[in-house]
Chain A
Amino acid sequence: MFGGGIILVGYVCKYTPVEIIEAFGETPVKLEPDSKSYEQAEALIHSNICSFAKGILENIIDNHIEEVVLTSCCDSIKRLYDVLKERVKFIYLLDLPRKKDPMAVDLFYGEIKEFIDAYKAYIKRDFSKEILAKILENKAIKGKRMDSESIAILGARLKEDVVEKIKNSCAEKIINLTCTGEERIFDVKPEGDILKNYAESLLNLTPCMRMADDRNDLVNKKFKGIIYNTIKFCDYYAYEYAELKDKVDIPLLKIETDYTDSGSGQILTRVDAFLESTGIKKIEKTKAKSGYFAGIDSGSTSANVVIIDENKNIISYSIVPTGPKAVESARQAFELALKSAGLKEEDIKAAVATGYGRVSIPFAQKTVTEITCHGKGAFFIDSTVRTVIDIGGQDSKVIRLDDSGNVVDFVMNDKCSAGTGRFLEVMARTLGVSIEEMGKVVEKVKEDITITSMCTVFAESEVISLIAQNKDQRDIIHALNKAVASKAVSLVERIKGKGKYMMTGGVAKNKGVVTAIEKRLGEKILIPPEPQIIGALGAALIALEGK
């Protein structure tokens, strides 16, 4: 029960007979986890099950939800039921068939009838088929269901507020076709047993990935673009993404969410970059003006500013470590660059901000994602570059460019510091050496060690064991550099990157990592003279040309 005194019946799966609950006069509510942590959930269930199931558990405890209706939709939800069984007043698990033939319909029909009996006994109220009929009449199919002019969000469920943010971030029509995004509209036959017909129409909803039917009808639809969502630890939808990736010729972006709030900024960056790179979102082209142009890259580790003139000459640049307030660091970097160029703020005709902090830079007129900016900057430095590997403090990304320097594909690491600058910083601290020292190790000394853990935390304990085994420090460093390289190369492989390669970001200054990546790719990597400013350079170029 939430604060207001209305009894809410929580559910998670779209195949839940929501309309039956409504016919009882109760209020079904689709549970949407909004917890910041899984502290209570992880005390009751293993931490490696799906983050959505953990979020639901946390949510049910936090909000004292007393009635929950689940289906046997996936392994995590089945175990959630087992855990909740003795903790809420009413809980029911409907066995959901994976097929929709007449026998499957009969089975599900039986399940729905048993559910009605159980709920009737619990709330001591009768169920009326007439009320159900009315509810279903209001949810009958009306008009067109899909729009080929839209961008579809497909895959696993996505938090409503993220969907809203995506909708607000562009002018395009976005339709939510994720597993629970679909509108509840039915085509229930009027003749015969309404309950049986209802069971049949539920089983005939667009199949989710756990069903036996394939989803060709859905995925073969023509959309303008597809944003494909998967949830951490929910493995169902990645299969479909793997298939679609090579099959569809429409722009496709993969995002991964985990139902905590912390990821939505990163998701919006990706969506923005996706819309920019596919040309769905146009970046306004402005006429080149004389004067100076600035690009401000407000990153997690440093704020970088580049000032160029109308002829694209770099006049000055600055790199300032990001302090507790991103705007102040960006302002500081901006002033530093102005000072070394001998310019005043009013000399800057246009400024573009990029990086994580881009939306909060008051002295920039426009924001563009760091993906587009890195692509732009790298291609400007060398127009033979086709793949940019950017490893920054807290994220790494690989961007593929076409022959004209446009971004055609990109991939970022997922909310994990493995393979980033931060990973190396943590390890440097563990080893008691400076980050510069680490960069100098390019070859093994005695032994070729491999760090097997990709997770920063586990890799740290692996390093500690290697220290305990008295391994040569340089060999451990070499192994760590290889680990970062391997993560970067797997990103390159994911988007089928090809030469020439350019590496940008702070880690590009680490010779050890660069050499290890070169070995894996079998090709030399271009390192610009100052790899940290490429994003800002790209932003400055966009400020100048508008593209």
Chain B
Amino acid sequence: MDAVKSYSKFIKKNMERPEKVKKLINLGLFIAYHYVKFFRDKRLPESFHFLNKYSIKCVIDSLNQPQNSAWVNIFAPSEFLIAMDIKPLFIEAYSSFMSGFFIEDCLIDAAESKGISNTLCSYHKTFLGASELGILEKPRFMITTSIACDANIPTFRYLSKKFGVPLCIIDVPYKYSKEAVSYVKKQLQELAAKLEEAFKRKLDLDKLREIVKTENKTRALMREYLNYVGKKTLQTTMTFEMYMLFASHVFIGSKETLKFYEMLVSDIKKAPEKSGKSVFFVHILPMFETNFKQYFNFGEKYHIAGSDINFDFLHEIDENDPFLGIAERLILTSLNGGIDRRVSRIRELLEYIKPDGIIQFCHLGCKQSMGGAFVIKKLASEMGIPFLCLDGDCVDKRNNQEGQNRTRLEAFLEML
């Protein structure tokens, strides 16, 4: 830990020399990758060890090949990128790594002093700050959707203007209808054309179909995994639950993601029967919050029993017409549309998992999620599951009142 803090101090000292900071960040990621590769945590199941390496590698690949990379947000239809061998960098992942390197405060301050709102989501502020400080190499393309978060479009538009890089905005309607699907499908066709133009290569439709097939197989494994989550105890941490976003979203459709879920299902089958108390998380997990880390990382008494964000879409999509299939998926994700849709997905997951408690960590700046907290609390009370709503920040550690959180978290765990 101290080594990371010294590394962070050193980066901060050099903030005015962006070229050096870029190199230091790349070096940090390189070391992290090799450390994970050679010093595997024995408690960790095979699947998470694989995911750990894969996730870091995905970030390294996109940073190392900016001209073959596209900046995206977590809900972007990256099947097209995988099919065209373009490396996506999703801004939420980059910001999490920067928080892991303990430099998020510097980046956030840079964004705020530029005039960016201080109540904006810190995943966005960290990324914007990094671009302000010149420590990000510009990519060749950017894609964002309007799903779940107001900040997506303005953040990407700001970045696109700043770097002079083409941006494709996919406007995903809030309500599902045949017309809405056609509207998104047409935008996806435009996206494919823009990608072909920007990267000067053709999209192979058969390859895209293959990716969608892999995606369907992956989701079948997700559903299978859900059958065991309530009965078994798989040792994990807050960080790995968040790493799963690489697999459940941006890199779904890749062979590696399929492999991860195959390994995950096999790991959970082998895992011991459930013991202790399990807690289901709504939305995202505060992986840098000390109290949560202490109680849930490889916890013996308390276990993480999944998060709804990793299961926001569980159906099969059209393999013959991938444009149509992906369009439907984008509209029907449980994070799009009214709170009812999300509530029914959470209810479905709770029925599978039967956790002992539910925690919603309201990430500061995420209005769509915190705005629904009281509705989800109502669901929890109908189902007779204890519910805790805590406020804080998953990236900017300065916004976490750890002393207060500790009392609330401990009191809640005592309740279970």
Q: Identify the A interface with B (CB < 8 A).
A: 44-46, 48-50, 53, 72, 74-76, 78-83, 93, 95, 97-99, 103-104, 106-107, 110, 209-210, 212, 214, 230, 232-236, 238-243, 245, 254, 452-454, 458, 461-462, 464-465, 490, 493-494
Contacts and interface: CB of A to CB of B under 8 A. Distances in A.
A490 B171 contact: no
Interface residues of B, number: 54
B154 A465 contact: no
Contacts of A454: 398
A76 B149 CA distance: 10
B89 to A, nearest CB: 20
B186 interface: yes
A95 B116 contact: no
A239 B155 contact: yes
Contacts of B119: 48, 232-233, 235
B261 to A, nearest CB: 31
Contact of A78 (B116, B174, B364): B174
Interface string B90-116: 000000000000000000010011111
Which 8 A-B residue pairings sit nearest by Cβ, starting from the closest? A79-B371, A242-B115, A238-B117, A452-B398, A75-B368, A75-B367, A82-B339, A46-B370
B150 interface: yes
A245 B114 CA distance: 9
A239 B368 contact: no
B371 A78 contact: yes
B108 to A, nearest CB: 11
Nearest to A468: B403
A103 B375 contact: no
A230 B117 CA distance: 9
A48 B339 contact: no
B153 A98 contact: yes
Interface string B262-285: 000000000000000000000000
Contacts, number: 145
B299 interface: no
A233 B367 contact: yes
B48 to A, nearest CB: 30
Contacts of A241: 115
Given A99-B171, A235-B117, A48 B398 contact: no
B355 interface: no
B331 to A, nearest CB: 11
Contacts of B174: 72, 78, 93, 95
A447 B20 CA distance: 29
A453 B364 CA distance: 14
B213 interface: no
A78 B374 contact: no
Given A242-B116, A453-B401, A462-B403, A107 B370 contact: no
27 contacts: A46-B371, A46-B373, A48-B391, A49-B367, A49-B371, A75-B150, A75-B367, A79-B368, A93-B174, A99-B171, A104-B171, A106-B183, A107-B180, A107-B183, A110-B179, A210-B153, A234-B117, A235-B119, A235-B121, A236-B154, A238-B116, A238-B120, A239-B155, A239-B158, A452-B399, A461-B401, A461-B403
Given A49-B371, A461-B403, A490-B113, A236 B171 contact: no
Nearest to B124: A235
A104 B380 CA distance: 38
B404 interface: yes
Given A103-B186, A104-B183, A230-B117, A212 B153 contact: yes
B362 interface: yes
B58 interface: no
Contact of B367 (A76, A93, A461): A76
A230 to B, nearest CB: 7
Interface string B148-171: 111101110110010000000101
Which of B116, B119, B169 has the largest number of chain A CB atoms within 10 A? B119
Contacts of B151: 235
B77 interface: no
A97 B175 CA distance: 11
Contacts of B121: 235
A97 B171 contact: yes
